[in-house]
Structure 1
């Protein structure tokens, strides 16, 4: 199982200037990829900005969105933005997307939460069209440079509709940020949807676990703050934060046992030293 590390783009009041240095340190430490967490109505740094900063500062480490709220964007605009980030990185981006659920994250007029699932189904075709270099905006010109690739897609959420979407359009599934003991059934559901869609092999399965090693109290508070208002999910997310080396080792083993291909250890503060603390445990 590969081990990636999150970028602290959604730590409350993150010092945005830390993001390029964070990506460079993660690359040097040997993590497989850096990832973002997505919300709009929160005092953090937008996923696309964080990923672009990481792309420009690094040369080999993978980039991943974990997960980005795609329906809050107009489809063609989102596709062009993602193509640019992937191009800057030299083709290192994997796009994890979901429909979102918080009404306050849907900021663009005409792109509210009510029909977000239908919009995603429609926009998936738009993404492919834009990335293929087809004309956009009713004109005759493509919106992306020649040679733009089809960016790999993974999907979050666990509803039957979301899992069908994953199996029909994606390369795999991103589990929610819950304790490992609660993820086995969601991985099984993703595998079942994959088989039902007639796909060969197995879906790529990606997991998330929060860590708070340098300042556990602050880290736990930050996770509770980020997920505030999410009902029972808030307490579950906080309970899954790993605060000791032994707990980090245990969660790595637990997700490996579940068949995850990659585990992202998400930071809960923007302390750069957290990268070396995690690396010393997992490598």
Structure 2
């Protein structure tokens, strides 16, 4: 199982200047992937910006949104931005997509929090068309340069349609930021949907776990804040922030036992020292 690390792009009060250095140090430490968390109505850095910063600061490490809220964006603009990040990075980007659950994240006129399933299905067609070089804006010009590829997609979510969408469009599934025993049924459903769709092999399965080593209590408070509009669920996620070597090693073992292909440790603070501290324990 590969071990990745998240960027602290949606940690409250984070310093945006740490993102390029975080990316460089994570690559040097040997992590497989840099991940992002996506929201609009929160005082962080948009995942596309964080991924672009990471792409420019690194050369080898993978880039992954886990997950980006697709329907909050006009689809042509999002597809073009993602193609640009993928191109700048030398095709290191994978997009984890979700439809969103907080109404305040939908800030674009005409793109409200209703009909999200139908909208993301239509958006996926738009993404593929743009990446394939189809004209945009009613003219004859494509929106992307030659050499643009279809950016690999993973999907999150717990509705049956999410798993079907993954099996049709994606390469795999991103589990939620919940304990392994809650992720296990989702991984099973992802595998089942993959088989039912007649896909060969197995889906790529990515797990997520929060951690904080330098200041665990601050980390738990910031994670609780991020999920505060979900009530008691916020307390559960915050209580699951890993803060000791034993906690982190158990997370690796538990998710490996579930058959995860990769585990992304999302930081609960923007403390740069937590990168090497995590690497010493789990790599």
The verdict on a shared fold, with TM-score over 0.5 as the criterion, is yes
Cα deviation code 1:221-245 (max 9, x no counterpart): 0000000011332122112211101
RMSD: 0.7
Q: Does 1:198 align with 2:194?
A: no
2:39 corresponds to which residue?
Answer: 39
Q: Does 1:124 align with 2:124?
A: yes
1:268 corresponds to which residue?
Answer: 268
2:26 corresponds to which residue?
Answer: 26
1:171 corresponds to which residue?
Answer: 171
Q: Does 1:5 align with 2:5?
A: yes
8 Å CA contact retained: 1:179, 1:236: no
Deviation of 1:200 (Å): 1.1
Rounded Cα–Cα distance in structure 1 between residues aligned with 2:236 and 2:137: 43
Q: Secondary structure at the match of 1:183?
A: helix
Within a 5 Å distance, the mapping from 1:147-226 to structure 2 comes to: 147-226=147-226
Rounded Cα–Cα distance in structure 1 between residues aligned with 2:279 and 2:123: 38
The answer for unaligned runs of 5 or more in structure 2 is: none
Rounded Cα–Cα distance in structure 1 between residues aligned with 2:30 and 2:251: 19
Within a 5 Å distance, the mapping from 1:237-276 to structure 2 comes to: 237-276=237-276
Within a 5 Å distance, the mapping from 1:82-161 to structure 2 comes to: 82-161=82-161
Within a 5 Å distance, the mapping from 1:51-70 to structure 2 comes to: 51-70=51-70
Cα deviation code 1:178-226 (max 9, x no counterpart): 0112111110011111111111111100000000111001000000000
Rounded Cα–Cα distance in structure 2 between residues aligned with 1:182 and 1:227: 17
Rounded Cα–Cα distance in structure 1 between residues aligned with 2:182 and 2:161: 20
Rounded Cα–Cα distance in structure 2 between residues aligned with 1:172 and 1:111: 26
Cα deviation code 1:114-140 (max 9, x no counterpart): 012111000101000000011011111
How many residues are matched?
A: 283
Cα deviation code 1:122-167 (max 9, x no counterpart): 0101000000011011111000001101100000001101111011
Rounded Cα–Cα distance in structure 2 between residues aligned with 1:156 and 1:249: 25
Cα deviation code 1:18-41 (max 9, x no counterpart): 000000000000000100001110
2:278 corresponds to which residue?
Answer: 278
TM-score (norm 1): 0.99
Rounded Cα–Cα distance in structure 2 between residues aligned with 1:225 and 1:202: 36
Q: Secondary structure at the match of 1:85?
A: helix
2:78 corresponds to which residue?
Answer: 78
The answer for unaligned runs of 5 or more in structure 1 is: none
8 Å CA contact retained: 1:5, 1:267: yes
Q: Secondary structure at the match of 2:82?
A: helix
1:236 corresponds to which residue?
Answer: 236
Which contiguous aligned blocks of 4+ residues in structure 1 show a shift greater than 3 angstroms? none
Q: Secondary structure at the match of 1:206?
A: strand
TM-score (norm 2): 0.99
Q: Secondary structure at the match of 2:242?
A: coil
